[in-house]
């Protein structure tokens, strides 16, 4: 597999491309523009003085809007707020201060192998169109339309898909998506689940052209994924 490296200052890319890592799993390619992404399996974006938070977010949003590509970010800083922003945009992970080239290589290659080996693309026909969940790309495809997802959004759809045509309760979804946070404040946890559902619905609506909603609200109980015509 090949990882693309977007590094405007070329500090990391030169080391990464020249480095003989222990895995020999990832090939490297320097990324300058979107056309360079055609034959890469993952992207590493390097934050520096020339390429900051705004530029990284613009690239992630632009890429996710038309191509579901696993993305990692490397930075020499530790910024919790920025980390949260990247993750909400659907970035797979962040390499922070004191990381090594070998650490990046091992982490990305292990994640790509785990995604491809242990999880299969789930597929179902929905109103004449193919419904696909792709764990490698963190995306949903309905027919020819691609919907980029964050990790939580993907996890939500995966749970609903595994229990399609059945009700997934608020409690079940909150516990699976948010874990220990549920015990701290049940109402807030359910509100966060509802917010995730709302965002997923909005993304699907953009490609679903106003057809019947896939995710139905079951009053006082939870949500259900309906794929039948």
Q: How does pLDDT run across 97-122, given as a tens digit for each residue?
A: 777 888 888 888 888 777 665 444 45
In this structure, what CATH number is given to the domain that contains residue 189?
1.10.10.10
The per-residue pLDDT for 90 is 84
The per-residue pLDDT for 119 is 47
Confirm if 76 and 11 have CB atoms less than 8 A apart. no
With the C-alpha atoms ordered 165, 89, 71, 93, is the resulting torsion angle positive or negative? negative
Last residue of a domain, one of 48, 83, 118: 118
The per-residue pLDDT for 183 is 62
> Do 112 and 126 have their domain in common?
no
Instruction: Report the percentage of the chain scoring pLDDT > 90.
Output: 11
> Do 80 and 45 have their domain in common?
yes
The per-residue pLDDT for 118 is 45
The per-residue pLDDT for 29 is 60
Look up the pTM and report it.
0.53
Q: How far apart are CA 125 and CA 228, in angstroms?
A: 8
pLDDT tens profile 146-185: 888 888 899 999 999 889 899 999 989 988 888 755 566 7
Terminal-residue alpha carbon distance, the chain: 38
Q: Which of 45, 25, 145 is nearest to 90 (CA)?
A: 45
Helix (H) / strand (E) containing 74: strand 71-74
The per-residue pLDDT for 166 is 92
Residue 203, pLDDT above cutoff 80: yes
Parent domain of 199? 122-225
Token pair recorded at residue 192? 């966060």
Q: Which of 30-34, 68-72, 111-115, 160-164 bottoms out in mean pLDDT, i.e. has the lowest?
A: 30-34
Average pLDDT over residues 180-206: 80
> Do 110 and 139 have their domain in common?
no
The per-residue pLDDT for 31 is 66
Reported confidence tier of residue 22, pLDDT bands at 50, 70, 90: very low
> Do 27 and 70 have their domain in common?
yes
């Amino acid at each position: 597999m090949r990882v693309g490296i977007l590094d405007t200052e070329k500090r990391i890319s030169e080391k990464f491309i020249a480095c003989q890592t222990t895995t020999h799993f990832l090939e490297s390619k320097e990324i300058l523009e979107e056309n360079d992404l055609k034959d890469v399996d993952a992207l590493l974006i390097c934050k520096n003085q020339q390429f900051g938070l705004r530029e990284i977010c613009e690239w992630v949003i632009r890429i996710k809007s038309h191509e579901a590509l696993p993305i990692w970010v490397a930075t020499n800083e530790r910024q919790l707020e920025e980390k949260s922003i990247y993750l909400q945009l659907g970035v797979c992970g962040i390499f922070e201060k004191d990381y090594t080239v070998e650490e990046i290589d091992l982490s990305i290659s292990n994640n790509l192998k785990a995604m491809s080996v242990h999880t299969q693309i789930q597929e179902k026909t929905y109103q004449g169109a193919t419904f696909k969940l792709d764990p490698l790309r963190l995306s949903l495809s309905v027919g020819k339309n691609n919907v980029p997802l964050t990790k939580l959004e993907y996890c939500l759809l995966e749970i609903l898909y595994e229990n399609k045509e059945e009700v997934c309760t608020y409690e079940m979804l909150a516990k699976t998506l948010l874990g220990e946070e549920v015990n701290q404040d049940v109402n807030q946890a359910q509100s966060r689940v509802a917010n995730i559902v709302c965002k997923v619905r909005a993304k699907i609506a953009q490609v679903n052209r106003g057809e019947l909603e896939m995710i139905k609200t079951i009053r006082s109980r939870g949500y259900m994924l309906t794929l039948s015509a």
